[in-house]
Amino acid sequence: MASVALPVALAGLAAALAWWAVGTLRLRRALGAATVADTALLVAALHGYEGDQPRPLFTDPLAKRLAGQRGAALVALTRRFPVSMDFVAARTIAIDSMVRRLTGVEDGLGAPPVDTVLNLAAGLDSRPFRLPLPSTLRWLDVDVPAILARKRDVILHGRSDADDVCASGTSGNGPGDAVAAPVFSAVPTASHLGPLATPLFTCGPAPRPDATAAKAAAAGRSGATEAVCAYAAYTADLARPADRRQILGLVPADARCVAITEGLLNYLHEADVRALARELHIHPGIQYWIADVGGAKAVALLDLTARYLFSRGHAVSYHFGPRKVPAFFAEEGWHTVELAAIPDVLREAGRWAWYERLLFTLVSPSRRNLYDVVLLAKDPAPRRK
C-alpha cells in the first residue's frame, strides 16, 4: 500500500504545482509589463479588500473603483505567492493616526494643528475623502497625470473599468480581456505635464453643481464624491528638481504644513532622498514630514519580491534603505517625533503571518530594521556628518 501511496502523492503534488504555474503564467501574461504606477493600483485594491475582512483595520469606499480590474488582478497575482501584503494596511492605519493628530482631529500632538497637507507621489490615496478631517484643511495631492486623471474620473465622474470595457466593446470574460491593457501604460515624461500652478481638478466640502455627475447619477452610477476638506490635485514629475520647487511653491511661507511621502522614498536613491529632505527643510511653511521607510534588509526583500511577481517587463525597483532611520533623517535636520514599526503595528492588529511571528521572535527589535512609518519634525539646523 505504501509503495502505491507515495507515487500517487507525488503525482498529486506535481499536478498541483503545474496548475499553480499555469495559472500564474496566465495572470502574468494578462497583466503585461509592470510599471511603477501598478503599485498605486495594487495598494488601492488592497485597501478595498481590507474592508472585506471580518475585522477590518479601516474601510475605503473608493478603493475598489480606483483600483479597477487591473488592481484586482494584481492582488490575485500576489496571493499566488507566499507573501503577506498586510504591511500595506498596517502602514495605512499608522499614517491615518498621524494625520488625525496633526490636523487636530485627535489629541496628542501638543502643538497647533497643521492647516495644509502636501501629499507627494499621492497615488490613489483617498484620505481626504474618508478621514474626518477639518473642513478648513487644505489638501494637495501631487503625482503624474495618468494617476491623477484616473482619480479624477472615479471621484468626479463616478467612472469605473466597466465603463471602459463597455465602450471598447470587449467582453471582459477572460483574464486577458479584463487586464491585458495597463491602466497606466507608462509614467508620463515632463513633456506631458500641464502647468504646475493649475490643479488637474479640485473638490471640497461645499456642494457643487456638476452636469457630469448628474448624467452619471441618471445612468445609475454614483457620480461625484466630495472631499471633506479643500482638495486639489496637481501634476508634476517629482524626479525633476524644477518641478519639485514649483510644487513646494504652492505652500505659503506662513502655512503649517505636513508633507507626506507614502510609498515613495524606497524607490529613490539615497542622494535623491537627501535632496528632498533638504528642500522640505528649507521651506518655512513645512513643519512636519510623514514618511515610510524600509530598512536595508526590507528593501532587498521588496526588490526580490517585485522581480519575482513581475518578472516580465519588470520596471519596479527599490533602492533606498537606511541602516538607521532616525539617524539618517537627523543628518538632514529632521528629528523623529514618532516611529511606528510595521512589525509592531501588525502584532497589535493580530495580523502576523506565521513566518513573521517566527522572524520577530528570533530577531530582537533593535536588529530588525525592517519597515517603519516615521513622523518627523524640523530641527533648527541639520546635523550632517
The residues, ordered by sequence, that sit 6+ positions from 106 with a Cβ below 8 Å of its Cβ are 97, 100
Better-predicted residue by pLDDT, 323 or 278: 278
Fold of 86-174+186-294+320-378: Rossmann fold (3.40.50)
Give backbone dihedrals phi and psi of 327, rounded to 5 degrees, phi first. Answer: -65, -40
Where do the structural domains in the chain lie, given as residue ranges?
Answer: 86-174+186-294+320-378
Flag whether pLDDT at 347 surpasses 90: no
Give backbone dihedrals phi and psi of 204, rounded to 5 degrees, phi first. Answer: -165, -170
Q: What confidence score (pLDDT) does residue 230 get?
A: 94
What pTM was estimated for this model as a whole?
0.80
Assigned C-alpha cell, 99: 494625520
DSSP state string for 125-185: --HHHHS---TT-EEEEEE-HHHHHHHHHHHHH---HHHHHHHHT----SHHHHHSS-SS-
- How do residues 151-174 score in pLDDT, each as one tens digit? 999 998 887 654 443 233 333 333
Please provide the average confidence, as pLDDT, over all residues in the chain: 76
Of 170, 22, 84, 25, the residue nearest 161 (C-alpha)? 170
Assign 110 a pLDDT band (cuts: 50, 70, 90). confident
Assign 328 a pLDDT band (cuts: 50, 70, 90). very high
- How do residues 51-64 score in pLDDT, each as one tens digit? 999 999 999 999 99
Better-predicted residue by pLDDT, 353 or 125: 125
Assigned C-alpha cell, 117: 497637507
Flag whether pLDDT at 13 surpasses 80: no
Flag whether pLDDT at 196 surpasses 60: no
Flag whether pLDDT at 315 surpasses 70: no
- How do residues 244-272 score in pLDDT, each as one tens digit? 999 999 999 999 999 999 989 988 889 99
- How do residues 116-147 score in pLDDT, each as one tens digit? 999 999 999 999 999 999 999 999 999 999 89
Q: At what angle do helices 63-78 and 2-31 cross, to 10 degrees?
A: 140
